[in-house]
Copies of this chain bind each other. A is one copy, B any other.
Amino acid sequence: MAATGSKLERLSQLLAARGFVARMFNDGDRKGSYRFGPAGVLLKHNIYNSWWHWMVSTQESSFPVEETRCWSPQANENMNNGFSFFLEVSEINNKRLPFSLIHVCKLTTTTQPLEEKLLIDSSSLMQMTLLHACTPSSSSRAFDHWMRYRLSWWKKFAVNPSHFTVEREVNGTESGSKILYQFPWGQETIETIINKGDNPFKAGNEEQSKEYQFKFERKLVLPHLIECSTTLETSMMAILTDAYMEKGVNGKKESPVHRVMLQLHPALAPYKIATATSGSKTRELQEVASHIAKEFHTEGVQVLHTQEVKPLEKHYARNDELGIPYTVIVNDTTLDSGLVGVRDRDTAVKEQVPVSKLSDIVKRNSQSTL
């Protein structure tokens, strides 16, 4: 990659060149449109599944709900997303508190696209929301819990966890927190966690609000609601920006950019490993590489296996830009010894390992989602 322009320009170029994401310019009236190449779709898929794992699969009493169409935020009905399921889900949960509603929904926005930003101005955003209902006496504890829990999700996958910060704010009877991230164009809210109290239940008339009452310590009370809300596109952009790394000659930051990479967490990386060959027996080496790739595919591990014959340094450069944690190198000695080289993206260190150990190395980090 040529190191010209601002950092955002260089990142944008890399994301377009490597098939993550690119703004569509020739899209007529379709403003804020983006194309996602293979690396981008796989990354989004992994981020979404990680969120789902943290918010649904590993949570007690967490119930996802959905409607065919979503309300748009312009109609100011955004807050009600998923809320119409409240009584239904409370029945499923045996009228017990706490429980959570999970609501994922594609929002179409009409905001003007902002050329100095990327992705977060998309005309279509996948909103991912948790609405947690709890007893009034536990709501501030629950609010703290969700705040810490969500922040730990962001930090878990970050190269620079300290770049994800929290700002508290009180707005009337609601208190809330924002998780903020410093993008190249400035700070943005990437997630909101709001303690809505029992306000959402008081919007209608008194009769209606009675429907939402729960028995708690021999009294009838209205639940309190905590809402955590982010979008998949914002998450993707924050994670990509955090992972973007420019290294100068000899690793010095000041010298001209020598090497760029995406230090994506192995659990989120689009590809967990890539194959490369180096040696004279091209045909045999490719056969071994294909066999290795097939083994990974059988296990459902995403591997990039393009059978390109080119210098290893070019493989490494491409793989670093794609954020691939490992490159496996099949060379002439592999055919005799059964040993392959494994090159680590972050350290650039190569080690020789038996082919049979490859799967353990790749899975060690890529499956650590909690």
Contacts and interface: CB of A to CB of B under 8 A. Distances in A.
Contact of A68 (B32, B38, B308): B32
A32 B293 CA distance: 44
A306 B63 CA distance: 12
A301 B34 CA distance: 35
Contacts of A33: 67-69
Interface residues of A, number: 54
Interface stretch (A87-95, A208-216, A347-355, A357-365): A87-95
Contact of A41 (B30, B36, B44, B65): B65
A51 to B, nearest CB: 12
A116 interface: no
B307 A37 contact: no
A110 B32 CA distance: 25
Contact of A34 (B34, B68, B85, B92): B68
Copies of this protein in the complex? 2
Interface in A287-312: 293-294, 297-298, 300-302, 305-308
Contact of A66 (B40, B293, B306): B40
A160 interface: no
A69 B123 contact: yes
A306 B67 contact: no
Nearest to A96: B307
Nearest to A60: B297
Contact of A42 (B32, B58, B64, B298): B64
A64 B270 CA distance: 11
A57 interface: yes
A112 to B, nearest CB: 15
Interface in A135-187: none
A53 interface: yes
Contacts of A306: 92-94, 96
Contacts of A297: 57-60
A300 B66 contact: no
Contacts of A308: 94
B52 A66 contact: no
Interface in A1-49: 19, 24, 30, 32-38, 40-42, 44-45, 49
A41 B66 contact: yes
A234 to B, nearest CB: 14
Pick the 10 closest A-B CB pairs, nearest first.
Answer: A38-B63, A41-B64, A57-B300, A36-B66, A94-B306, A33-B68, A68-B124, A94-B308, A34-B68, A41-B66
Interface of A: 19, 24, 30, 32-38, 40-42, 44-45, 49, 52-53, 56-61, 63-69, 85, 88-89, 92-94, 96, 102, 106, 122-124, 293-294, 297-298, 300-302, 305-308
